[in-house]
Chain A
C-alpha cells in the first residue's frame, strides 16, 4: 500500500535579523512510495496552471564502471531515441504540441529527466516518462549517430576553450581515487568505446522504479498525482536492489598543483579546492561551510575586499561550497588576477586571508549577514517551483531525507560563530587541497 506522508514544516528557526520572515523560507512537500518502490513527491504551487515532472535516477557518472566514462550520459541521450511503444520523434512531438519544454541532465550522482507543461497535459507526460522507464529500445544505428552528437557536445563544451581542460585537470587533482575526478561526459576515447550492450546493462541495472524518484512541482496535489502514478508507473515491476558503491578517497597527505599552459589563455585564472564533507556526512559541517563560503564571497566578502578593493591585485575573487554531493565535496576559491599581477604574491595574499580566518575566526556580524542572505535566498528560491522541485529531487537522489531538504533553513539558522570557526579549522588543510593555474605559455608571459 501507499504510505502518504505529509510534511509541512513550521517555523522553528532561531531569531535572526528582525526583518526576515524565516517561515517564508519553508515550503510544503507531499510524498508517497508506490509498492514497486518508486518514491513520488509533489511540491504544490498554484500561481500558474503548469507542472514540471522530473524523474531522478540514483545513477550518475560516479557510478560508472572503471574505463566506462560517459556511459551514464550516453544513456541519457539514448532515452530520447524512442521505446518499443513510442518512437523518439513522437515523444518530442507530443510534448511540443502541448507547448511543453523538456530536457535531461547527467551529473556525478544522478541522471534527471524533466518536462514542463500545462497542467492539463500532466497525464500525458507521466505516461511518456513511465514508458521510457520500462521500454527503452536502443537501435545500433541510432547509437552510432548519437555517439557523434556526444563527441560534438564534448568538443563544444570542453575543447573549444582552455577552461574545459583546466577544470578537467583540476578535478583529477582534487580527487585522488573517487570518480568525481573524472568528467561526466567522459574522455573522448572512452566515449568511443561504449557499446549498445554497455548501455542496455546500465539501463537494466539502474532504471528501475525502486531506484527512481518522481517529482511533480506546480499546480497539483498528491491526491491528483497518486492515481496517475499508480496507473503508469505502478505497473512497472520492481528491479533488483541497487547498491551504490564507489571508490573512496584515501587519506590525502600532499597538496597538488596543476598548471595548464595554453596559447589561447589571455587572462590567467587561479583556483584552489579543499576536499571536505558534504551534507550527507551529517556532522554539521555543511551549513557552517555554506555560510563560510558566503562570508568569503560577494563584493562585501573578505576575499573581494582584500584582494580586489584593498590590494588591487585581482579583478574578482570568491569562494564556493557545494554541499549536495553524495560523497566528499570541494570547498573552493577562485581569483581572476588583475592585469600584470604577480601571481605568486597574489596566492600569498590569499593565504594571508585564509590564515587570518583560521587564527581569528569570523565575527558575529559576518555570520548574521551571511545567514540573513542565505535565508532570504531560500525565500526568493520559492519564486520558481520548478527549482524547488529540483532541490527536492536532487537531495533525495544523494540520500538526504525530505525533512533534511526542507529543513535546510533550520540548519542554517542554528549555526553559531563557534560552528563556523570549527569548520574553518577542519577545512583549510593544504594536504587536502589542489591549486590550479591556467596560464599562457611561459615564453608568452
Chain B
C-alpha cells in the first residue's frame, strides 16, 4: 500500500492516527470488479444516494522511487501542472472549463505511485472524464505555466529550509537510506527543480502514465457499464506499457545512530525509526497489533500514557509502520521542550525495550484487536475515502474479498506473534531475549544534553 512518505511524519504535529484501513465494516460495500471493453480494470461501488462520483487513480512505479538520481521532485512538479492546460485548452481555458463544470482534479505523488483524484457531479461526468483524459494524455506544459509552477515550488522549498518538521523528515530519510532513492528528498532540491526541462516533463508522462501501471477505484451515482464507458473514453488512449524502473529492495541502516540538527527554537522535534514489516510479510498483522499498543492508537497507547499523560512532556507522541514497495520502516515522532529531550527520549526508549522484552498483556491484545477491527470501518464513510481504499486494495494485491477476511487476519494474532515481531523490529533478531535498540534518531532543535549520546 502506498502511503505518502510525508504522512509517516505527520504525527509529530497532530493527533491523527495513521488510518489503518484494512478491516471490515459491518456491512461491507458491494465492490464490483469490471473490465472495460477497452481492457481497463476498474473496482467500483455504485452509491446512488448522492449525485456525485469520486474517482481515484494510481499509476504504480511512477512516484519518486521511479526517478533517477538528480530528478527527485519531478513527480511533484507534474502534479502541479496537470490542470495547467491540455489538448487545445491553454492554462486559463482549461481551468475555466473545470470551474464551469465544478470538477475537482487533484494529483499528488508519493514514494512509489502517482495519484489522481477526480470528483464530479454525476450530471457532469462526461465533461469531467474528458478533462481527465486530456490532462493525462495531452498535457501542454506551456512555458508560462511551467515557469509559474516552478517559481511556486522553489519558493515553497526555500521556505521549508527553516521548517523543523520538513527538515526532520528529509534528514531522517537521508540518514536511514543513504544512497537509495527512498533516502532522497521527495520534493527535490532547489538546484534539481531549476534544472527540469520540457523534455523531462513530457518524458515523465509518456513513460509513466501507462495502462499497465494503472489502478482505478470509483464510487458514486453511476452504473458499471457507464463507468467503463467513461474510463475507456478518457484513458483508452494511454500507452499500453512503459519501461520498468527498477527499485532495489532495501532496509534502513542499523542504528543506534543519533543526529542533531541545531536550530534556535524553544522545542525539539524528534523522529526515531528502523526497519518495519513489509506489507506481504506474514507477520504484518502482528506488527499492526504491536504498533497499536505501543504508539499507534495515540490516545490509548503506552507512549501516550507515559510521555503525555503521566509526565506532561509532550503534546503528541506516536509511532507507525510504513510499508512501501521495496522497504518498510517503523518510525515514531515527538516534540518537546529542549531541556526535556533527554528525559522524554529515555522514556520512549524504555517503552520500546519493554515491548521487546515483555510483549503485551492479554487485555492489551484484546483491546488492540477490537480497536484495529472497529477502526477500519471509519475509513469507509465517504465516497472519496472508499474510492481510495479500492485503489489501495489493488496496489497491495489484497483481493476483492479482503475487507471481509481482514477481521480473521487480525484475530489470528497471538501474544507470541507480537513479542516475536517486537524483537525483530527493535533488536533486529526475533529469537533474541535481550538486545540493543537499533534506532536511527534525528532531532531538530536545540536539545540540552542530547548530542552527548553520539
Contacts and interface: CB of A to CB of B under 8 A. Distances in A.
Contact of B312 (A46, A149, A384): A149
A49 interface: yes
B155 interface: yes
B15 interface: yes
A10 interface: no
Given A99-B375, A118-B374, A383 B266 contact: no
Contacts of B372: 99
A265 B380 CA distance: 40
A144 B102 CA distance: 50
Contacts of A145: 309-312
Contacts of B101: 19
Interface string A367-378: 001001100110
A24 B220 CA distance: 14
A369 B312 contact: no
A21 B164 contact: no
| Interface residue range, chain B | 35 or more
B121 A379 contact: yes
Contacts of B376: 99
Given A96-B299, A309-B148, A156 B335 contact: yes
Contacts of A92: 299-300
Interface in B233-267: 264-267
Contacts of A308: 148
Contact of A300 (B92, B266, B311, B371): B92
Most buried by B among A46, A159, A267: A267
B314 interface: yes
A102 B336 contact: no
A19 B52 contact: no
B25 A48 contact: yes
A117 B371 CA distance: 11
A160 B378 contact: no
A384 B381 CA distance: 7
Interface string B271-287: 00000000000000000
A146 B151 contact: no
A265 B299 CA distance: 34
A246 interface: no
A121 B108 CA distance: 36
Interface in A86-117: 88-89, 92-93, 96-103, 116-117
Most buried by A among B264, B299, B372, B383: B299
Contact of B378 (A50, A103, A157, A299): A50
Contacts of A339: 151, 154-155, 158
Interface in B43-64: 47, 49-52, 54
A155 B268 CA distance: 10
A153 interface: yes
Given A116-B381, A338-B155, 19 more contacts: A17-B100, A20-B121, A24-B51, A24-B121, A99-B375, A99-B377, A100-B378, A101-B17, A117-B374, A152-B315, A156-B13, A160-B164, A160-B335, A263-B264, A266-B158, A267-B159, A316-B152, A380-B52, A383-B52
Interface of A: 17, 19-21, 24, 45-50, 88-89, 92-93, 96-103, 116-118, 120, 144-153, 155-157, 159-161, 263-267, 298-300, 305, 308-309, 312, 315-316, 336, 338-339, 369, 372-373, 376-377, 379-380, 382-386
